[in-house]
């Protein structure tokens, strides 16, 4: 058999198996829908997870360190430190709030004006607000920046409240693992669904398979239409999964945007990229192919003419 | 062409279908296997087509000892044999054209060649023009002839038929037998199992008469 015939035979079987599925549109659609839903669930979760990670990343970037200087440090110390810090590669900006400014601000905003007048000295220290660069905005980066600043002379306290970000990221990590587990289980589910569908298909066409074997069809030849049916189930299911995820993202886009606005963020939910869509199709096709392979390997061999 | 040498066949249920059968059918001959049902006719055909394997003894088909054919080689082996069944075993959801073309599609014959050879095979059985019909639209006799066209379309050197006239009236049955005779005249070895001894009386053919798994009579052509 030459190569051209080989490929045209495969193409024929590929189209033929699609035609066979099209002749039972409802049953075929149901199988594809089950695959689509099974795949859409972890995908949708994953989309949210990716978005949450991106959003928490943004929060991290916006995080500043408050550096309180020693009360005993001399007046020029704050400016000198600010100058020194601005030279660092991991610092984006330094804002100096002198003790006097801080007191004035506090007097205005707190309503303790009278009480504050009774104080002999200004109890507030000079303060620097240090913004890390984007690259240094990770928990590790800010942590090392904190340590470096704390070691500088004249610095009393460096306040860095990254604990909640760490917790958030730990939670996201737990969710990520849960999504992976769900995804793995549902992937096995897809393999089994397709395997069972193809198994029933094989049993329904038992007589036909017997005839084919009697006139000299190899196992490979007999398997081919079933493997291609599996491939179509997978592609159909993958396509439905993409549709479901896209619809799901659109559905949640508005509420998420409102929520982001309340946090003063312009954050927008991102759906599947076109590369991810291709990956979903490829993964669905591969899983379904594996499922049909499981079925044909066992059941086609078992059918022998008698 | 076909040689059985002290062949025994015992089925898993314990039934002994063949008990030491030996015979030889020469290349290009027509041979009839006769006997009552259960005499072992079908078992002989199944051993030839490698649907079953002998329990003991040697089966030689096309100068090959079938014992040497591994499961992977069975498909290739069957392509040299055309098989006709009593119940035709046609695929009812496909037109006559596709049914007859099946062995050629399996063998990977080019499309143009397939059309030509299917038409030639249908012509031989007198069904040219029925390519697009579905098997169930045809009469029983026509369905059987579609089955025969499928068996000969790949031009096998050996044609075997199990009770091919079992469901046909006497005139149709005679026609079908004459068809087999014509194939043998052009060099195909034809083995037909039938219980209808009257039908084959007038044919010049090798006869093997079976009873309870043994050869009890026969005549060379």
Q: Last residue of a domain, which of A110, A139, A161?
A: A161
Chain A residues whose CB is inside 8 A of the B107 CB are 1, 216
Asked whether the beta carbons of B148 and B100 are under 8 A apart, the reply is: no
Single out the residue of B61, B57, B66, B68 nearest to residue B8, CA to CA.
B57
B172 pLDDT exceeds 60?
yes
pLDDT of residue A115: 77
Say what the ipTM of the complex is.
0.86
- Number of domains, chain A: 2
Tokens for B60?
A: 């030689």
Is A215–B105 a contact, with Cβ atoms under 8 angstroms apart?
no
Q: What are the φ and ψ backbone dihedral angles of B163, each rounded to 5 degrees?
A: 45, 55
Chain A residues whose CB is inside 8 A of the B78 CB are 213-216
Asked whether the beta carbons of A76 and A150 are under 8 A apart, the reply is: no
Question: How do beta strands B30-34 and B189-193 pair?
Answer: parallel
Closest CA of chain B from A298, distance in Å: 15
The helix/strand/coil state of A36 is helix
The pLDDT mean for chain A works out to 85
B219 pLDDT exceeds 90?
no
Is B79–A221 a contact, with Cβ atoms under 8 angstroms apart?
no
B105 touches chain A (CB under 8 A): yes
B150 touches chain A (CB under 8 A): yes
Of the candidates B51, B103, B108, which has its C-beta nearest A215's C-beta? B103
A10-24, A42-56, A81-95, B85-99: range with highest mean pLDDT: B85-99
Which chain B residue has the Cα nearest residue A12?
B105
- Model confidence at A268, pLDDT cuts 50, 70, 90, reads confident
pLDDT of residue B189: 95
- Do both A133 and A222 map to the same domain? no
Closest CA of chain B from A214, distance in Å: 7
Chain A residues whose CB is inside 8 A of the B103 CB are 215-216
pLDDT of residue A264: 66
Chain B residues whose CB is inside 8 A of the A5 CB are 108, 110
- Do both A87 and A106 map to the same domain? yes
Domain B2-80+156-219 fold is Rossmann fold (3.40.50)
Least confident span in A51-60, A280-289, B196-205: A51-60
pLDDT of residue A241: 95
Is A208–B91 a contact, with Cβ atoms under 8 angstroms apart?
yes
Tokens for A264?
A: 């003063």
pLDDT of residue A58: 61
- Contacts for B146 with CB less than 8 Å, ≥ 6 apart: B88, B90, B96, B99, B100, B122, B125, B127, B130, B135, B138
B197 touches chain A (CB under 8 A): no
- Do both A73 and A206 map to the same domain? no
Of the candidates B76, B83, B111, which has its C-beta nearest A214's C-beta? B83
Q: Last residue of a domain, which of A145, A161, A177?
A: A161
Cα B137 from Cα B140, distance rounded (Å): 10
State the count of interchain CB pairs (< 8 A) between A and B: 51
- Three-state secondary structure readout of A74-105: CCCHHHHHHHHHHCCCCEEEEEEECHHHHHHH
Cα A217 from Cα A9, distance rounded (Å): 14
Of the candidates B51, B91, B106, which has its C-beta nearest A216's C-beta? B106
pLDDT of residue B6: 93
Closest CA of chain B from A213, distance in Å: 7
Mind listing the pLDDT tens digit for each residue in A117-164? Answer: 777 778 788 888 888 887 777 777 878 888 888 888 888 888 876 667
Range of the structural domain that residue A138 is part of = 64-161
- Do both A25 and A107 map to the same domain? no
Chain B residues whose CB is inside 8 A of the A304 CB are 51
- Do both A196 and A294 map to the same domain? yes
Exposure of A147 in the CB half-sphere (CA atoms within 13 A): 5
B147 pLDDT exceeds 60?
yes
Mind listing the pLDDT tens digit for each residue in B4-18? Answer: 999 999 999 988 999
A97 pLDDT exceeds 90?
no
Q: Last residue of a domain, which of A138, A161, A184?
A: A161
Domain-by-domain residue ranges, chain B? Answer: 2-80+156-219, 94-154
Mind listing the pLDDT tens digit for each residue in B71-128? Answer: 889 999 999 999 998 888 899 888 999 999 999 998 888 888 999 999 999 998 889 9
Closest CA of chain A from B81, distance in Å: 8
Containing H/E element for A128? Answer: strand A127-132
Question: What residues in chain A have their Cβ under 8 A from chain B's Cβ atoms?
Answer: 1, 5-6, 8-9, 207-208, 210-219, 221, 304-306
Mind listing the pLDDT tens digit for each residue in A278-300? Answer: 999 999 999 999 999 999 998 98
The pLDDT mean for chain B works out to 91
- Do both A102 and A175 map to the same domain? no
- Do both A216 and A74 map to the same domain? no
Chain A residues whose CB is inside 8 A of the B150 CB are 215
- Do both A95 and A147 map to the same domain? yes
Rg (CA), chain A: 32
What is the arithmetic mean of pLDDT over B67-73?
90
In chain B, % of residues over pLDDT 70 = 99
Is B106–A215 a contact, with Cβ atoms under 8 angstroms apart?
yes
pLDDT of residue B57: 93
Which chain A residue has the Cα nearest residue B90?
A211
In chain A, % of residues over pLDDT 70 = 94
pLDDT of residue A59: 61
Cα B150 from Cα A181, distance rounded (Å): 53
- Do both A177 and A288 map to the same domain? yes
User: Which DSSP category does A23 fall into?
Assistant: T
- Do both A272 and A142 map to the same domain? no
String of b and e for B105-114 (b: at least 16 CB within 10 Å)?
bbbebeeeeb
């Amino acid at each position: 058999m030459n190569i051209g015939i080989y490929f045209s035979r495969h193409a024929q079987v590929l189209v033929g198996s699609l035609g066979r599925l099209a002749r039972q549109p409802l049953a075929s659609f149901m199988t594809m829908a089950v695959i689509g839903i099974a795949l859409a669930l972890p995908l949708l979760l994953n989309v949210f997870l990716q978005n949450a990670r991106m959003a928490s990343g943004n929060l991290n970037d916006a995080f500043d360190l408050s550096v309180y200087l020693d009360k005993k440090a001399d007046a020029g110390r704050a400016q000198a430190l600010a100058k020194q810090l601005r030279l660092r590669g991991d610092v984006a900006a330094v804002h100096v709030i002198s003790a006097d400014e801080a007191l004035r601000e506090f007097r205005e905003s707190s309503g303790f004006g009278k009480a504050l007048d009774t104080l002999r000295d200004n109890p507030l220290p000079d303060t620097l607000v240090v913004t890390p660069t984007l690259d240094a905005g990770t928990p590790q980066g800010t942590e090392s920046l904190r340590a470096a600043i704390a070691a500088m002379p004249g610095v009393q306290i460096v306040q860095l409240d990254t604990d909640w970000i760490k917790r958030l990221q730990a939670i996201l990590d737990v969710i990520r693992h849960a999504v992976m587990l769900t995804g793995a289980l549902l992937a096995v589910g897809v393999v089994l669904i397709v395997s069972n569908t193809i198994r029933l298909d094989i049993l329904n066409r038992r007589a036909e398979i017997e005839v084919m074997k009697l006139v000299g069809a190899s196992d490979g030849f007999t398997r081919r239409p079933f493997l291609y049916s599996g491939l179509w189930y997978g592609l159909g299911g993958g396509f439905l999964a993409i549709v479901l995820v896209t619809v799901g993202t659109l559905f949640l886009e508005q509420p998420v945007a409102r929520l982001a606005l309340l946090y003063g963020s312009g954050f927008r939910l991102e759906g599947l990229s076109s590369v991810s869509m291709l990956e979903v199709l490829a993964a669905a096709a591969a899983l379904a192919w594996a499922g049909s392979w499981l079925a044909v390997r066992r059941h086609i061999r078992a059918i022998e003419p008698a | 062409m076909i040689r059985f040498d002290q062949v025994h066949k015992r089925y898993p249920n314990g039934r002994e279908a063949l008990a030491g059968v030996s015979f030889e059918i020469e290349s290009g001959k027509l041979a009839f296997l006769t006997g009552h049902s259960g005499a072992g006719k079908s078992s002989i055909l199944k051993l030839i087509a490698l649907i079953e394997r002998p329990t003991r003894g040697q089966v030689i088909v096309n100068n090959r000892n079938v014992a040497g054919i591994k499961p992977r080689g069975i498909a290739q082996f069957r392509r040299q044999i055309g098989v006709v069944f009593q119940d035709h075993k046609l695929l009812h959801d496909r037109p006559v054209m596709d049914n007859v073309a099946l062995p050629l599609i399996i063998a990977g014959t080019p499309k143009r060649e397939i059309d030509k050879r299917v038409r030639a095979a249908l012509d031989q059985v007198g069904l040219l023009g029925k390519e697009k019909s579905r098997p169930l639209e045809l009469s029983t006799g026509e369905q059987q002839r579609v089955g025969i066209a499928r068996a000969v379309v790949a031009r096998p050197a050996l044609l075997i038929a199990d009770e091919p006239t079992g469901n046909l009236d006497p005139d149709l049955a005679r026609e079908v037998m004459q068809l087999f005779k014509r194939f043998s005249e052009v060099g195909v070895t034809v083995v037909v199992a039938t219980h209808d001894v009257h039908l084959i009386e007038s044919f010049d053919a090798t006869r093997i008469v079976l009873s309870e798994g043994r050869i009890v009579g026969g005549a060379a052509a």
